[in-house]
Structure 1
Amino acid sequence: MAQTDETATAAPDAPAPPRRRRRTRKRTRARRVLLVCGGGLLVLALAAGGWAYWAYRHLEGNLGTVDIDRALGTDRPAPLPDGAQDILVLGSDSRDGENGDLAGGNTGGTARSDTTMVVHIPQGRSAATVVSIPRDTMVSRPACTTGGGQQLPAATRVMFNSIYTSGGPACVVKTVESMTGLRMNHYVEIDFAGFERLVDAMGGVEVTVDAPITDPYSGLRLPAGASTLDGKQALAFVRTRHGVGDGSDLGRIGLQQKFLLAVLSQLQRQGTLSDPARAYGVADAATKALTTDQELGSLTSLLTFAQSLKGLQPERMKTVMLPVVADRIDHNRVVADEAKAAALWLSLRENRPLPSTAPTASPSAAAHN
């Protein structure tokens, strides 16, 4: 049967018909497009992977750690049997280096624990209790080992915030464990400069106060109602005491607890971390600000721990203060109200409701100008 296809009647040396050449050009062009697109996707994938790796390594390198477990040894309270976690959160008022221009100027590189909170998270991690320890509480410091390996003997009538200066984080943890009977599973410290950067990276934090606050020492001036604080204002807010209450550390504790809840609420609201650039900025500022125990001292560990707290809502956080009374020897200091403090710590150890005697700090009840 005769062939009707054009190629069947063409001479052996005849050029390919034009229609075939057009199809070949189309195929060649298509291959080029696929190669270019595929190569571009590969480059983008490699670039994204390289960026992710760089970002991870950068954030990981920001973290500082302290070996609390090594310094404390085995003479510690046993972990709670129900899987509850206790975290000691410390705000350091070191004025060394970058902190020198913040909150009152340089103090020769010394540091004190300006803010101390025991965060108790029961099993299930959907609720928490935050207990603030006033910085001017007179306590007994047990014998402890500093980060540099120096042995400090036990001492009585030591002001709580001076323990960080003389013994460092491990001695503070040792003292808190002795006071509470709770084992601190983790240690987290944030410094002045890091705190300021973190708030700015978040785009500021909104707080609400019932009465205006004016403190010439910290420079804080806030009207009654809601205000969005930048990093510098936020630092003044959590450190001010002359503009609230009776001017003691007890009014400051109320502001610190209020600010903590405001930060948690803002981080959980839609939009704060949905922007990748802002989320990375917050992560960068947070990791630069933090010093943790070694177990939390990696980005993976921090993310895993944070993920375990995803069910924790700010409204399920109870904020109280260590029950204290005026020190009989120095009325500018306070000491623990032993009976009430013992009941508070026992309620946490046994996962029972807080006693009615656990005081809450009210930062604005007696605010004055």
Structure 2
Amino acid sequence: MTATAPLPRHRRRRTVLLRWAVVLTAVLAALVGAGWIFAVHVLGSVKQTDLLGADAATRHADITGPVNVLLVGTDQRADQPVDAARSDSIIALHVTADHRTAYLISIPRDTLVHLPADPATGFAGGTNKINAAFQYGSQRGGGISGGVKLLAETIRTAYGIRFDAASVVDFAGFQQVVDALGGVNMCIDERTTSIHAGLTAAGKPAQPFTEDSAGRLHPVRGVTPVVYEPGCRHLSGAQALDYVRQRNLLARGDGDYGRQRHQQQFLEAVLAQTGSAGTLADPVKLDRVLTTVGHSMTVDTGGVSLPDWIFDMRGLNGGSVQTIRTNDGKFDSVNVPGLGSCQLLTAASRQLLHDVTTDSVGTFLAAHPDWRGGGATGGSSL
């Protein structure tokens, strides 16, 4: 297969896989727990559109059996066209047939795959990093829907997973949700130096590094980067976003897998805070959180109404959502001319994704218990 040319590099505004979970786990659970008046209120603010097209699993009027949801985070900024954004976070959310357990499986954005052709945009297909699928699908008028459709088709072609629903959340929405919660409590598990946030000698915010076309970082003279030291602390929305964006200067040198782990920890923290007594018992705060979530989402419900989704997923809560690391959080890299360093999924990771199609992820985890993510409240144990 011939590698497709890499698309132009753009300034990154990282979003996180976790916003999805807020939508389809914590938020659903919180809505049910808080009562239908809040559910009706927030549902009115959710944007709904066809994201999956013909590649969606059979559309249905109710939800039975196992469910797969494609969760996508993009790096699009408000001043950036849709077709300039790649999918920075890609998660397969698998809900078991009894709708009581959910698994969040992150697919590394640099995973090397074959991208199918997209006649709608004139894209001929080829080998590339999986996060390029969203950008190629969104070009020439494809927009967000085109990006999600090509990404979903890429995952189905590569791993056999068909999705029943999909969701996309924007950067501003992510930060606003955390701020609406009043921040989030997280345990930092490794010294993390920010390449995006820093301070000048006068205490003014400034970017501490520049990045050249080859992805190399260059310190900016007179700017000290923000450093997140190990330990538990309360983070604002801006701080949480900055922390989970980082992959370059992590103390463990674990790159994207470290960022993936931090995003999963963040998800668990948001789930815990959304379902906490302090949030559920405060009608004004809960209203603000859920309305913010609704405004930040674009969803394809697969033909099922949002109230039905909420009712059928009422058995899910923060404790029933499990995060899983692909490749057990270890690198399996290959250098591809024109694409740079790409990730390969191991045979075990491909088995994990196959087990999504047979609703047997629990069996896989029983055999690979160390693949579980987590640790939002106990970072030192990771």
Task: Find out whether 1:283 has 2:290 as its counterpart.
Answer: yes
Task: Find out whether 1:293 has 2:275 as its counterpart.
Answer: no
> Contact 1:186–1:293 (CA<8 Å) still a contact in 2?
yes
- Please identify, of 227-236 and 244-253, the stretch whose mean Cα deviation from structure 2 is larger: 244-253
* Mapping of residues 207-356 of structure 1, within 5 Å: 207-219=186-198, 220-244=226-250, 245-246=252-253, 248-293=255-300, 295=302, 301-323=305-327, 325-329=332-336, 333-352=341-360, 353-354=363-364, 356=367
Which residue in the other structure is 1:179 paired with? 158
SS in 2 for 1:184: coil
Alignment partners' CA distance in 2, 1:194 and 1:78: 28
* Mapping of residues 17-36 of structure 1, within 5 Å: none
**Percentage identity across aligned positions?**
27
Task: Find out whether 1:161 has 2:113 as its counterpart.
Answer: no
Superposition deviation, residue 58 in structure 1: 7.7
Alignment partners' CA distance in 1, 2:123 and 2:340: 26
Superposition deviation, residue 212 in structure 1: 3.4
> Contact 2:106–2:324 (CA<8 Å) still a contact in 1?
yes
Task: Find out whether 1:83 has 2:87 as its counterpart.
Answer: no
Alignment partners' CA distance in 1, 2:303 and 2:181: 23
Relative to structure 1, the CA distance from residue 226 to residue 306 in structure 2 (aligned partners, 3 Å threshold; closer, same or farther) is farther
SS in 1 for 2:277: coil
Match of 2:102 among 114, 122, 128: 128
Relative to structure 1, the CA distance from residue 327 to residue 66 in structure 2 (aligned partners, 3 Å threshold; closer, same or farther) is farther
Superposition deviation, residue 182 in structure 1: 1.7
Alignment partners' CA distance in 2, 1:107 and 1:187: 21
Alignment partners' CA distance in 2, 1:359 and 1:114: 21
Which residue in the other structure is 2:184 paired with? 205
Tell me the alpha carbon deviations over residues 25-72 of structure 1, each in whole angstroms, 9 at most, x when there is no partner. xxxxxxxxxxxxxxxxxxxxxxxxxxxxx99998556333331343x3
Which residue in the other structure is 2:4 paired with? none
Superposition deviation, residue 179 in structure 1: 2.4
Tell me the alpha carbon deviations over residues 169-220 of structure 1, each in whole angstroms, 9 at most, x when there is no partner. 1111111222221211110111110101111111111111233322233455
- Please identify, of 216-225 and 277-286, the stretch whose mean Cα deviation from structure 2 is larger: 216-225
Which residue in the other structure is 1:12 paired with? none
Which residue in the other structure is 2:76 paired with? 94
Task: State which structure, 1 or 2, has the greater radius of gyration over its C-alpha atoms.
Answer: 1
Tell me the alpha carbon deviations over residues 235-260 of structure 1, each in whole angstroms, 9 at most, x when there is no partner. 11221112423262111101111111
Alignment partners' CA distance in 1, 2:81 and 2:312: 39
Relative to structure 1, the CA distance from residue 328 to residue 318 in structure 2 (aligned partners, 3 Å threshold; closer, same or farther) is same
Relative to structure 1, the CA distance from residue 193 to residue 109 in structure 2 (aligned partners, 3 Å threshold; closer, same or farther) is farther
Alignment partners' CA distance in 2, 1:234 and 1:362: 16
CA RMSD in angstroms comes to: 3.4
> Contact 2:68–2:163 (CA<8 Å) still a contact in 1?
yes
> Contact 2:322–2:373 (CA<8 Å) still a contact in 1?
no
> Contact 2:39–2:307 (CA<8 Å) still a contact in 1?
no
Superposition deviation, residue 108 in structure 1: 8.9
Which residue in the other structure is 1:110 paired with? 84
Which residue in the other structure is 1:137 paired with? 111
Alignment partners' CA distance in 1, 2:104 and 2:259: 15
Relative to structure 1, the CA distance from residue 155 to residue 109 in structure 2 (aligned partners, 3 Å threshold; closer, same or farther) is closer
Higher helix share: 1
> Contact 1:94–1:192 (CA<8 Å) still a contact in 2?
yes
Task: Find out whether 1:63 has 2:71 as its counterpart.
Answer: no
Relative contact order, higher structure (CA 8 A, sep 6+): 2
Superposition deviation, residue 86 in structure 1: 0.7
SS in 2 for 1:144: coil
Alignment partners' CA distance in 2, 1:108 and 1:142: 20
Relative to structure 1, the CA distance from residue 109 to residue 57 in structure 2 (aligned partners, 3 Å threshold; closer, same or farther) is farther
Alignment partners' CA distance in 2, 1:177 and 1:108: 23
Amino acid at match of 1:122: T
Relative to structure 1, the CA distance from residue 233 to residue 249 in structure 2 (aligned partners, 3 Å threshold; closer, same or farther) is same
Q: Which runs of 5+ in 1 are unaligned?
A: 1-53, 98-105
Amino acid at match of 1:314: G
